[in-house]
Amino acid sequence: MNKIKIIEDLIKMAEELPFRNEDKLTALLHRAKMVTRNVFGDNSKYLKDLDEINFWSSFSVDPVTEGNYWKSGNAEIIALFNTMIEEIKIFGSKEKEDSQDKPKEDTTDKSEIDIKKSELESILKEQKNSYFDFSVFISHADIDYLSLHELSLEMIDNKIKPVFWFRVIKDESVRVKLIEEIHKTDIFLIFLSPNSVASQLTNNEIGFIEGKKFYKKFKGDVVLRLYDKHNLKRDHCKGFYGLFDDGISFDPTLISDRKKVVNTLIEMWGSIEKTNISSDMAINEEALIDMIPQIIQFFYTHENQHLNFPKARYICEYIKERSDRYEIIDPREWYNIYELISWINAIHVEIFDEFKMKLKFYLEILNKEIGSGFKL
């Protein structure tokens, strides 16, 4: 078997990958993992590297940015294939049979993480949702879970529900489920360490969190950053991690530090202005989704009378594309749909009363849901 030639074929597949073609991407990833297992073994780090390559943007309504993410993911996977070739040239490759006789890297840590995860899941299952006062989505690198386990138990003891996400975003369906989990959560805790700063999944989670915070315009703090006291240095931080001093330096082994985090979360929950808007949106969301095609069609019928035509057309096409692919509306879509309905209401044409009444009804819900300053 010419291993280098096989990997070169993967590079060719990646170079010819059609833009945003999920079927072709899935086929490439499956083939890449099959080749990796056979060339480098079942425990190869390259398998994890493949999982962490992201072709989809985490927080953007701009198609240009989404396109850049796709191109970046494509370039990253080609670079990974080239690294595989270099390893074979320099060191040779580990045969699959050989790898099975060797202990898996970090086996002890991995099994301990799984045990602790199972323990947490069992404890959460024993509690009814009514037991908890509020929920906290905890963004972290998987390998750091052991640093957060005791804190999670402390949170449960104080009627705070910890919410973790352990799945890699491989496609849009997984991404949508992650968005749903974040939307259902009240407060967000981000554990920053060298591992999480380098993690694509953590970057995705923080993108969604920052997106929800921006579009919902929360009154009160909703994000708490914890910094790994012993391992994180200032020069590790970039992007969403840039506010190095905006958070708490955290030592997970200290009871005092864990109690400080819990007390801070309780104070944050007390400072947030509570409303029942989300329940209004949840009740009417399905009907609003069903109405989107009618809203889009109406816009195109009267687009020549639109004062904000270029931006409105872009928003309309964007909503149409996303509503075709998604079964839910996340805050980005709520805001865009709000703007589109606002513009339609501003068009000076005769609109059927029933249609206009529906538009105004949803506009009022969206206006409250996103905390917008726009008025009818």
Task: Give pLDDT tens digits for 359-370.
Answer: 667 666 666 655
Residue 55 has φ and ψ, to the nearest 5°, of: -100, 0
Question: What's the pLDDT score for residue 264?
Answer: 92
302 close to 347: Cβ distance less than 8 angstroms: yes
The proportion of the chain whose per-residue pLDDT surpasses 90, expressed as a percent, equals 10
Give the 3-state secondary structure of residue 141: coil
Which helix (H) or strand (E) element contains residue 193? none
Average pLDDT over residues 102-130: 69
Cα separation, 333 vs 289, in Å, equals 10
CA angle 132-135-138, nearest 5°?
135
For the beta carbon of residue 32, count every other beta carbon within 10 angstroms.
23
Task: Give pLDDT tens digits for 160-202.
Answer: 999 887 665 556 666 667 767 777 788 888 888 777 766 655 6
Residue 351 has φ and ψ, to the nearest 5°, of: -115, 140
Cα separation, 182 vs 331, in Å, equals 11
Average pLDDT, the chain: 71
Question: What's the pLDDT score for residue 373?
Answer: 38
- For residue 18, the Cα-to-chain-centroid distance in whole angstroms is 24
Q: What pTM value is reported for the model? A: 0.46
172 close to 56: Cβ distance less than 8 angstroms: yes
Highest mean pLDDT among 93-107, 145-159, 353-367: 145-159
Among 258-272, 277-291, 339-353, the least confident range: 277-291
The proportion of the chain whose per-residue pLDDT surpasses 70, expressed as a percent, equals 51
In the structure, what pLDDT confidence band is assigned to residue 247 with cuts at 50, 70 and 90?
confident
* Domain boundaries along the sequence of the chain: 3-100, 107-271, 277-369
249 close to 369: Cβ distance less than 8 angstroms: no
- For residue 259, the Cα-to-chain-centroid distance in whole angstroms is 28
Topology classification of domain 107-271: Rossmann fold (3.40.50)
